[in-house]
Chain A
Amino acid sequence: MSLNAYPPVLTRLIRSLSKLPGLGEKSATRIAMYLLQAPAEEVEALAEGIVHLRNRVHTCSRCFHFTDQELCSICSDAGRDATLLCVVESTADLLAIEQSGAFKGIYHVLQGVLAPLDAIGPDNIRIRELLQRLDREPIREVILATNPSSEGEATAHYLLKLLKDRGLRISRIAYGIPMGGDLKYTDRVTLERALKGRQDF
């Protein structure tokens, strides 16, 4: 699509918006045209929100979830079980678990997983900080909730190796058939793991 017909300011905005994930040039143009006609307060609130996001949001000094305070809302919540620690790959995974409402402990966000082809080793993710937390906090159980991908599995096994002599309970999130799933469409590895991890009913 040619952007020559637009004023330079609008062209710049369309180019910036189309760099966002999931937005092509057409969607970016539609958003830019909407902003052009939207009430001034709405546009200013959006711009202010983006600037504040960059200036104020950082990672929690304890768990590495995003926050605008020293500690995130989860770490500073006295009602949570501080002896139960769930290790996740990313903030997106933390939010998915929080949305389930099934977990009332605290988290540690690794900010990545071991990825040799991207030159990411244990020193490049938050493993050292996890070990330091375990030295100073009264944690009794660590739940390894990295994804069941090759990288997530290898990271979980590596963490198990590092943590197994610490006298903690180490658990791994379960593998299995998703709710509403269909056995005949389930892959061989998931079925094998689901059968191995079956529970009394």
Chain B
Amino acid sequence: MKIFETEAIVLSTRDHGESDRLITFYSREAGKLRGIAKGARRSQKRFVHTFESSSLVLMTCRERKSLIWIEACKLLEPYLELRAEVERWGYAALLSEIFLEMAPEGEAQEELFDLLNATLLQLTKNRDPLNVMLLFMVRFLDKMGYLPELSHCSVCRSPLRASRRWLWRVKQGDLVCQKHGSIQPSGFPLDVGTLVLMEQSRVLSLDRMWRLHLLQEKKAPLFQGLIRVIQDLIRKDLKSLKLLEQIRAACSRKSERNRNWSG
């Protein structure tokens, strides 16, 4: 049976039986894979601290009929800074969940691996994690083929600057100008500024993409819209949003409490 070595990012880890672990990871060489690490829960030497979610690791795997067997694993980058701020950590979990739900199994796409790794790095150091997540989601949807043509109306072919308001018809997979877009539940209204930035985030190189910044007031609606698109595509709710919603509510409760005390 073939043995291969690959860089990979751990997406999720589950205990299996008495001492094994089931790991889902996104690898540079083979895309998304599920593997079993025999004895990983008991081993004090082979797998210590290597299967934490969002860690970049170097895996040695053996191909089997069903599950991949993980023979060895070396930690390359644990992205520890994520754990120090629960919002960034929550976004990293959302990133993993999007890959778990949408990335095709066993299909190597190096661009997706680089996007995942670069997004984790940006989440650890960028001052605006929400902006990082938005750029990631636009780029990811584009690489997966779900982003429509963003340069003109799919009906009248008029360019972006011709209309201030646009509609991304998610079901039809196209973008239409104000004249041709009627309000519909699966539609996603977008303004021209956001569309220009989305277009740039798909064409710029990965290292230059992070320089793009969305206007503060545009971030929340775009995040909600992109999440709705992803949830419509996977036909279920993303679980990690619950944590993000709860920490936001807790933070506003705390601020209110502090205001009351100081008042």
Contacts and interface: CB of A to CB of B under 8 A. Distances in A.
Interface in B45-82: 45, 48-50, 52-54, 75, 78, 80, 82
A187 B50 contact: yes
A117 to B, nearest CB: 6
Max count, chain B CB within 10 A of own CB: residue among A124, A149, A158: A158
B86 A157 contact: yes
A72 to B, nearest CB: 27
B243 A120 contact: yes
B86 A189 contact: no
Contacts of A114: 86, 243
B45 A185 contact: yes
A188 interface: yes
Given A122-B246, A154-B86, A161-B86, A116 B93 contact: yes
B12 A158 contact: no
Contacts of B75: 187-189
Interface residues of B, number: 36
Nearest to A193: B80
Interface string A120-147: 1111100000000000000000000000
A148 to B, nearest CB: 8
A150 B54 contact: yes
Contacts of A189: 49, 75, 78, 80
B247 interface: yes
B87 to A, nearest CB: 9
Q: Place the interface of chain A in its size category.
A: 20 to 34
Contacts of A158: 86, 247
Contacts of B48: 186-187, 190
B258 interface: yes
Contacts of B244: 116
Interface in A7-48: 21-22
Contacts of A200: none
A50 interface: no
B196 to A, nearest CB: 32
Contacts of B84: 153, 157
A129 B80 CA distance: 28
Contacts of B52: 149-150
A98 to B, nearest CB: 23
A116 B242 contact: yes
A21 B15 CA distance: 12
Contact of A122 (B12, B44, B100, B250): B250
Interface string B88-101: 01100110110010
A185 B48 CA distance: 9
B240 interface: yes
Interface string A149-173: 1100110011001100100000000
A153 B83 contact: yes
Nearest to A188: B75
B248 to A, nearest CB: 10
B207 interface: no
Nearest to A21: B18
Max count, chain A CB within 10 A of own CB: residue among B44, B96, B245: B44
Interface of B: 12, 18, 44-45, 48-50, 52-54, 75, 78, 80, 82-86, 89-90, 93-94, 96-97, 100, 239-240, 242-247, 250, 254, 258
Which 9 pairs between the two chains have the least Cβ-Cβ distance?
A121-B246, A116-B93, A116-B240, A119-B239, A153-B83, A121-B243, A116-B243, A150-B52, A158-B86
Interface of A: 21-22, 114, 116-124, 149-150, 153-154, 157-158, 161-162, 165, 185-190
30 contacts: A22-B18, A116-B89, A116-B90, A116-B93, A116-B94, A116-B240, A117-B97, A117-B100, A117-B240, A119-B243, A121-B245, A121-B247, A122-B247, A122-B250, A123-B246, A149-B52, A150-B83, A153-B80, A154-B83, A157-B83, A157-B85, A162-B250, A185-B44, A185-B45, A187-B48, A187-B50, A189-B49, A189-B78, A189-B80, A190-B48
Given A116-B244, A153-B84, A185-B45, 19 more contacts: A114-B243, A116-B93, A116-B94, A116-B240, A117-B12, A117-B53, A117-B97, A117-B100, A117-B239, A119-B240, A120-B242, A121-B243, A121-B246, A150-B54, A154-B83, A154-B89, A185-B44, A186-B48, A190-B48
